[in-house]
């Protein structure tokens, strides 16, 4: 055959490479999707068994307060009321986010608007370093420093929502800060210049222009921090006291979904109700991270910056 | 001049906030380092742990942490590169891509306990890897993949489209454009993300308790045959890492000098993370210069 | 770039044979033991010693809790499952397939914060405290201090044993729970008015023990059953043990471990028990 004709008809080396590369990428991405699907399947199949196999009422599970999967109540139904853990998880998450937000955004403004050089030299490396500190270490410090201080100040045992909030606040602070910095940086420079040219002070520029236009990014940062706080296990478990009780106040022992889950999973037999009930807690955690993600996407879509 | 005063007040408050944060974070670091560094000696770093006598070290745990990290990165780096390239360069904007992105983000915000339990069910029990480095590395991969993938995707997306157009105009295929032009250009960002991810993996404990296990059997450092059961390289031996060790000795409470050992181990962990951070910067710069052939000042 | 892809592929493929090769070849022999954290220190220490005496044999010991130990041995995923409780006491376990090896006895004692200067409690008083009927130390002859209960997590062997012999079926008050004895000890030591329970071996100077119904928590009282709050430590195998598993269990029962190592770690050798107690709590003298 004519070599020119041949080279025109045959797939070129490039085209083959292109195909292979594309397939490789596709392979990697589908692997991730498979892993996510597998996690969902496993957690859901075990977590739902509580309701299908052991015939627990979903509403009771979510609203009852007694958590004793091993024992039965007066009607012969096992006591699996997850409300105390659900409330505990939400409380520590929301409080930690409430405390962390002003600090994180303040620090981010400082780093981007007020003193970028000093901020970058000192604040950024320190926050990045903190992202890498193992949660065990946070828990350890919480146990040896935070809990005794709270006990000294407020009485009680020192374990509880307040101690959990404080530890989580320090844990999510670096994440929220660095994401807020990214959000503020994404505001185009000419926005600030225009505002300053109109005679606005620096604070007016920050407050009325920079913060407003970066709001979606900041919200994403906060929600991301909340997702992290919601799923944190070891550090919280060490300081919250792990009592499956609705908290009376901020310093009475409480529990979170993660703390009960990690504590109990080794002491139960796979396939038994006690074990299934714990997997149901894991399922709630999974669904909550889904909710947090949808929130982030919603915020991102609503407020995408239109230049 | 109310506005001017407002501006001043706001500035002062922002300085205060930044100051407080630095104070909190710095005292945290100082606390860990001051408590821990006095215990960190060469002996501490190299001897095996003793479970119920004082004077043990963290030698095996330290080695395990590094080995596990290397294995986890060997698996997750190529996968995340492939996935990131696909997402940023090939994926069409449709519902499927959006679904995939959601899946990745869910994976990234999954509590590490859940990931660990999943790994326990799948790798340890179903695949019969047992409590082993391999199970641990696979779980860390699951844990790490979404963050790395997103990092790769973001780094690639930040490269200007002019570079892509230039590559295509020269007659390169899309794949060649990506691998020869875009990836090298994005390399500093990618490496920084990878090394920061490595730091996170290094300190992870919850996901490893039920997968890599909580025991550190004695290792024979003269036998490097990966199939020998006591070989440091054997991926099927159980391996307690440094972070798991801190958790375990604190909760067991039988080691007489548990407080000292965990303080020392925490300090070592933080120093390791610090080294990761610094090397991330240096390495990113260095690679960038090499791959793009730009001069010393290129950036 | 092709080279890199090739390298990646090789690395990934390289991992596969590693998994396949584990069982084949004479690269040493090993068994895995999983379960009870209360028994873990003993088995770990014995395993280490066994490994140093028998070249090429390895005993891997993992914690995970009694529940993990029992479900893993039932699945046949491990060689030995450790448990603080009888397999019959856990739901979801078919105990007929399992063989029980009672390797040690552990005494469990109530412990209190040192500020609570209470020396003796009756069984009724203990029960009243842990069911929540009594909430101040004043009511049981102590100082005017609220009682802070610290429990082990639900299903933990120590807690099951304690509640079996103290509460005798009465529901426990919901209170804070800790996953491990080390944490319990730290909390009891630092929290005014705290009470909890733990194995004898964990008791140290930072906390105080209490006599129950006039009986002191000592090894001697356990061996005669005057101190009733104790339990056997079980090592379960699926069917009769074979090979390395059998050798290792025999090693645990050898004098070297039973007489020398057990007392040092705070366990009581089964051979010293003057009585034995079955699943239902029936006590018979050892002849």
Alpha-carbon gap, residue C130 to C132, rounded angstroms: 5
Which position has the token pair 């079980």? C234
Going by C-alpha positions, the residue among C106, C108, C107, C110 that lies closest to residue C196 is C110
pLDDT at A1: 64
| Residue C207 near residue C112 (C-beta atoms within 8 A) | yes
- Asked whether residue B13 is domain-assigned, the answer is no
- φ and ψ at residue B56, rounded to 5 degrees: -75, 165
Beta partners for B260? none
Give C10 or A271, the one with higher predicted confidence. Answer: A271
Confidence of residue C16 (pLDDT cuts 50, 70, 90): very low
- What is the count of residue pairs from A and B with beta carbons less than 8 Å apart? 245
Using DSSP's 3-state secondary structure scheme, residue C69 falls into helix
Confidence of residue A130 (pLDDT cuts 50, 70, 90): confident
* pLDDT, average across residues C36-50: 85
pLDDT at C23: 41
pLDDT at C27: 56
Both tokens of A63, joined, read 């609203």
Which position has the token pair 């069409």? B92
At A36-92, the pLDDT tens digits run 888 888 888 888 988 888 788 888 888 888 888 777 777 777 888 889 999 999 999
What interhelical angle do A83-109 and A161-185 show, nearest 10? Answer: 40
CATH number of this structure's domain C107-223: 3.40.190.10
Residue of C nearest to B129 (CA): C19
CA distance B273 to chain A (A): 6
Percent of chain C with pLDDT over 70: 90
pLDDT at B206: 81
3-state secondary structure C221-240: HHHCCCCCCEEEEEEEEECC
At A161-187, the pLDDT tens digits run 999 999 999 888 888 888 898 888 888
**Number of folded domains in chain B?**
1
Both tokens of B65, joined, read 């942490």
| Residue A238 near residue A208 (C-beta atoms within 8 A) | no
Mutate to test the interface with A, among C91, C98, C160, C164 (most CBs of A within 10 A): C91
Q: Which of B100, B103, B246 sits opposite A140 (nearest CB)?
A: B246
* pLDDT, average across residues B252-269: 80
At A234-253, the pLDDT tens digits run 888 888 888 888 888 888 88
Asked if residue B1 has pLDDT above 70, the reply is no
- φ and ψ at residue A89, rounded to 5 degrees: -60, -45
Residue of B nearest to C46 (CA): B51
Both tokens of A70, joined, read 């091993």
pLDDT at A263: 80
Q: Where are the beta strands (DSSP E) in C189-229?
A: 194-199, 208-209, 211-212
Alpha-carbon gap, residue A297 to C105, rounded angstroms: 57
List C-alpha distances in Å: C62 to A73, A171, B185: 35, 29, 46
Interchain CB distance below 8 Å, A148 and C66: no
pLDDT at C25: 41
Chain B residues touching residue C64 (CB < 8 angstroms): 210, 214
At B8-59, the pLDDT tens digits run 888 888 888 888 888 888 888 888 889 888 888 888 888 777 766 667 778 8
| H or E element that contains A182 | helix A161-185
pLDDT at B275: 83
Lowest mean pLDDT among A120-124, B48-52, B57-61, B67-71: B48-52
| H or E element that contains C111 | strand C98-112
pLDDT at C196: 94
Alpha-carbon gap, residue A148 to A138, rounded angstroms: 15
Asked if residue A197 has pLDDT above 90, the reply is yes
Q: Average pLDDT, whole number, for chain B? A: 82
* pLDDT, average across residues B197-216: 81
Mutate to test the interface with A, among B175, B240, B259, B262 (most CBs of A within 10 A): B175
CATH T-level topology, domain A83-305: MetI-like fold (1.10.3720)
Strands C120-121, C211-212: pairing is parallel
Asked if residue A300 has pLDDT above 80, the reply is no
Q: Average pLDDT, whole number, for chain A? A: 84
Beta partners for C52? none
Lowest mean pLDDT among A223-232, B254-263, C115-124, C127-136: B254-263
pLDDT at C287: 65
Confidence of residue B294 (pLDDT cuts 50, 70, 90): low
Lowest mean pLDDT among B10-19, B276-285, C198-207: B276-285
Q: Kindly state whether B173 is in contact with chain C, defined as any CB-CB distance less than 8 angstroms.
A: no
pTM of the entire predicted model: 0.83
| Residue C64 near residue C35 (C-beta atoms within 8 A) | yes
Q: What CATH number has the domain bearing residue B101?
A: 1.10.3720.10
Lowest mean pLDDT among A163-167, B106-110, B138-142: B106-110
Lowest mean pLDDT among A202-211, B133-142, B192-201, C75-84: B192-201
Boundaries of every domain in chain C: 9-105+233-285, 107-223
* pLDDT, average across residues C101-129: 92
pLDDT at C19: 44
| Residue A220 near residue A179 (C-beta atoms within 8 A) | yes
List C-alpha distances in Å: C265 to A156, B254, C180: 34, 9, 17
Confidence of residue B174 (pLDDT cuts 50, 70, 90): confident
pLDDT at A90: 92
Give A238 or B83, the one with higher predicted confidence. Answer: B83
Going by C-alpha positions, the residue among C149, C197, C194, C195 that lies closest to residue C175 is C149
Alpha-carbon gap, residue A94 to A87, rounded angstroms: 10
Chain A residues touching residue B206 (CB < 8 angstroms): 135, 233-234, 262
pLDDT at A145: 86
Asked if residue C13 has pLDDT above 50, the reply is no
* pLDDT, average across residues C184-188: 87
Alpha-carbon gap, residue C158 to C182, rounded angstroms: 13
Give C196 or C74, the one with higher predicted confidence. Answer: C196
- φ and ψ at residue A227, rounded to 5 degrees: -60, -40
Select, from the ranges A109-123, B248-262, C209-223, the one with the highest average predicted confidence (pLDDT). C209-223
Say which DSSP state C272 is in: G
Alpha-carbon gap, residue C243 to C74, rounded angstroms: 19
Q: Which of B125, B131, B250 sits opposite C62 (nearest CB)?
A: B131
Lowest mean pLDDT among B76-90, B148-162, C19-33, C77-91: C19-33
* pLDDT, average across residues C272-280: 85
| Residue B263 near residue B35 (C-beta atoms within 8 A) | yes
Superfamily of domain C9-105+233-285: Periplasmic binding protein-like II (3.40.190.10)
Matching fold, domains C9-105+233-285 and C107-223: yes
Domain span holding position B180? 40-292
- Asked whether residue B160 is domain-assigned, the answer is yes
CA angle B157, B159, B161 (to 5 degrees): 90
Mutate to test the interface with B, among A137, A144, A284 (most CBs of B within 10 A): A137
Alpha-carbon gap, residue A192 to A212, rounded angstroms: 12
Alpha-carbon gap, residue C134 to A227, rounded angstroms: 40
Alpha-carbon gap, residue B74 to B174, rounded angstroms: 26
Asked if residue A303 has pLDDT above 80, the reply is no
Alpha-carbon gap, residue B235 to B229, rounded angstroms: 9
Both tokens of B222, joined, read 């003269």
Percent of chain B with pLDDT over 70: 92
| Residue A65 near residue A83 (C-beta atoms within 8 A) | yes
Q: Average pLDDT, whole number, for chain C? A: 84
């Amino acid at each position: 055959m004519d070599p020119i004709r041949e080279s025109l008809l045959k797939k070129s080396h490039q085209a083959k490479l292109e195909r292979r590369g594309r397939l490789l990428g596709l392979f990697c991405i589908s692997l991730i999707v498979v892993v996510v699907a597998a996690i969902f399947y496993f957690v859901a199949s075990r977590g739902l068994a509580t309701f299908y196999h052991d015939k627990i009422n979903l509403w009771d599970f979510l609203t009852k307060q007694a958590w004793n999967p091993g024992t039965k109540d007066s009607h012969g139904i096992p006591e699996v009321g997850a409300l105390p853990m659900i409330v505990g998880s939400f409380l520590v998450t929301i409080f930690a986010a409430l405390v962390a937000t002003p600090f994180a955004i303040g620090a981010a403004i400082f780093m981007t608007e007020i003193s970028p050089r000093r901020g970058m030299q000192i604040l950024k490396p320190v926050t990045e370093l903190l992202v890498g500190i193992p949660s065990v270490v946070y828990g350890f410090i919480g146990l040896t420093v935070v809990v005794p201080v709270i006990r000294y100040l407020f009485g009680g045992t020192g374990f509880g929502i307040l101690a959990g909030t404080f530890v989580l606040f320090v844990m999510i602070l670096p994440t929220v800060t660095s994401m807020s910095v990214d959000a503020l940086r994404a505001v185009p420079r000419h926005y600030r210049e225009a505002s300053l040219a109109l005679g606005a002070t620096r604070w007016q520029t920050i407050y009325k222009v920079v913060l407003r236009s970066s709001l979606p990014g900041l919200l994403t940062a906060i929600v991301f921090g909340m997702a992290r706080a919601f799923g944190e296990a070891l550090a919280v478990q060490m300081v919250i006291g792990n009592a499956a009780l609705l908290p009376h106040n901020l310093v009475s022992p409480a529990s979170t979904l993660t703390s009960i889950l990690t504590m109990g999973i080794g002491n139960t037999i796979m396939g038994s109700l006690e074990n299934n009930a714990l997997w149901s807690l894991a399922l709630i955690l999974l669904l909550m991270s889904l909710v947090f993600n949808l929130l982030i996407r919603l915020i991102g879509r609503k407020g995408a910056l239109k230049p | 001049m109310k506005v001017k005063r407002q501006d001043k007040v706001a500035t002062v408050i922002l300085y205060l906030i930044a100051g407080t944060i630095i104070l909190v974070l710095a005292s945290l670091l100082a606390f860990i380092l001051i408590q821990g560094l006095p215990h960190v000696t060469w002996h501490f770093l190299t001897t095996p742990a003793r479970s119920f006598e004082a004077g043990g070290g963290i030698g095996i745990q330290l080695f395990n942490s590094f080995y596990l990290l290397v294995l986890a990165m060997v698996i997750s780096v190529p996968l995340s590169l492939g996935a990131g390239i696909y997402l940023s360069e090939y994926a069409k904007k449709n519902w499927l891509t959006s679904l995939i992105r959601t899946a990745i983000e869910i994976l990234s915000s999954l509590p590490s306990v859940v990931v660990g339990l999943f790994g326990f069910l799948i790798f340890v029990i179903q695949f019969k890897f047992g409590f082993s480095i391999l199970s641990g590395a696979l779980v860390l991969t699951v844990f790490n993949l979404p963050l790395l993938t997103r990092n790769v995707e973001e780094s690639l997306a930040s490269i200007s489209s002019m570079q892509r157009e230039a590559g295509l105009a020269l007659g390169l295929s899309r794949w060649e454009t990506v691998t020869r032009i875009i990836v090298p250009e994005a390399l500093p960002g990618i490496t920084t993300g990878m090394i920061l991810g490595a730091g996170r993996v290094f300190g992870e404990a919850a996901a490893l308790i039920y997968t890599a296990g909580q025991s550190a059997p004695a290792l024979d450092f003269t036998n490097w045959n990966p199939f020998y059961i006591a070989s440091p390289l054997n991926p099927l031996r159980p391996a307690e890492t440094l972070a798991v060790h801190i958790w375990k000795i604190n909760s067991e409470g039988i080691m007489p000098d548990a407080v000292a050992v965990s303080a020392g181990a925490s300090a070592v962990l933080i120093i390791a993370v610090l080294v990761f951070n610094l090397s991330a910067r240096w390495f990113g710069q260095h690679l960038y210069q090499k791959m793009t052939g730009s001069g010393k000042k290129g950036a | 770039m092709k080279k890199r892809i090739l390298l990646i592929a090789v690395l990934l493929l390289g991992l596969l044979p590693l998994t396949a090769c584990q069982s084949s070849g004479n690269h040493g022999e090993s068994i895995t033991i999983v379960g009870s954290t209360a028994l873990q220190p003993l088995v770990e220490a014995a395993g280490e010693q066994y490994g140093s005496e028998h070249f090429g044999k390895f005993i891997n010991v993992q914690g995970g809790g009694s529940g993990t130990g029992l479900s893993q041995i039932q699945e046949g995923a491990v060689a030995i499952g450790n448990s603080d409780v009888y397999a019959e006491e856990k739901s979801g376990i078919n105990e007929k397939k399992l063989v029980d090896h009672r390797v040690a006895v552990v005494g469990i004692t109530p412990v209190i914060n040192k500020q609570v200067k209470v020396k003796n409690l009756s069984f009724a008083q203990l029960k009243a405290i842990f069911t929540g009927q009594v909430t101040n130390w004043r009511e049981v002859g102590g100082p005017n201090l609220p009682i802070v209960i610290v429990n082990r997590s639900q299903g933990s062997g120590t807690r099951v044993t304690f509640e079996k012999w103290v509460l005798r079926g009465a529901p426990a008050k919901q209170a804070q729970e800790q996953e491990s004895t080390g944490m319990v000890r730290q909390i009891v030591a630092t929290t005014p008015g705290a009470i909890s329970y733990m194995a004898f071996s964990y008791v140290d100077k930072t906390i105080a023990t209490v006599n129950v119904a006039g009986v002191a928590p000592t090894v001697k009282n356990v061996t005669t059953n005057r101190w009733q709050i104790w339990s056997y430590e079980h090592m379960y195998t699926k069917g009769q043990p074979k090979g390395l598993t059998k050798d290792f269990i025999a090693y645990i029962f050898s004098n070297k471990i039973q007489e020398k190592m057990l007392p040092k770690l705070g366990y009581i050798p089964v051979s010293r028990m003057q009585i034995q107690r079955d699943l239902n709590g029936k006590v018979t003298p050892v002849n």
